[in-house]
Amino acid sequence: MLEVDNRVIIPERTHTRFVVEGADVIHSYACPSLGIKCDAYPGRLNQSSVYLNREGTYYGQCSEICGILHSSMPISIQSVKLTKFLY
C-alpha cells in the first residue's frame, strides 16, 4: 500500500530541497527513513531539505488526518545516481 504511480526522483549525494504546499486541506509530507516531516498548508510554502548518501527507495505516508482518503496517501521517494538523474 506504499507504492505510488509516479515516484519523486532525486539525485544521490546532492542537497535537495522539498517545497511543499497543500492543494485542498492540511496534509503532512512525511518520510521517516529520511527524517522528513513537513506540513502542507494550502496557500503557504513550507520547505525541508535532505541529503542522500546512497541510491534507494524510501517510503512514507501523509501524517496529518486530512479526510476520508487519508489512509490512501502513500509517498515514495527514489534516489538515483546523478548521471542517471540528468539523462
Nearer to Cu ion, 50 or 66 (CB): 66
Nearer to Cu ion, 12 or 64 (CB): 64
Contacts to Cu ion from residues 55-84, by CB under 5 A: 62, 66, 70
**Residue labelled with grid coordinates 521517494:** 77
The answer to whether residue 37 forms part of the interface with Cu ion (CB under 5 A) is no
For residue 80, which of 2, 7, 31, 17 has the smallest C-alpha distance?
A: 7
d(CA 39, CA 55): 25
- Residues binding Cu ion (CB under 5 A): 62, 66, 70
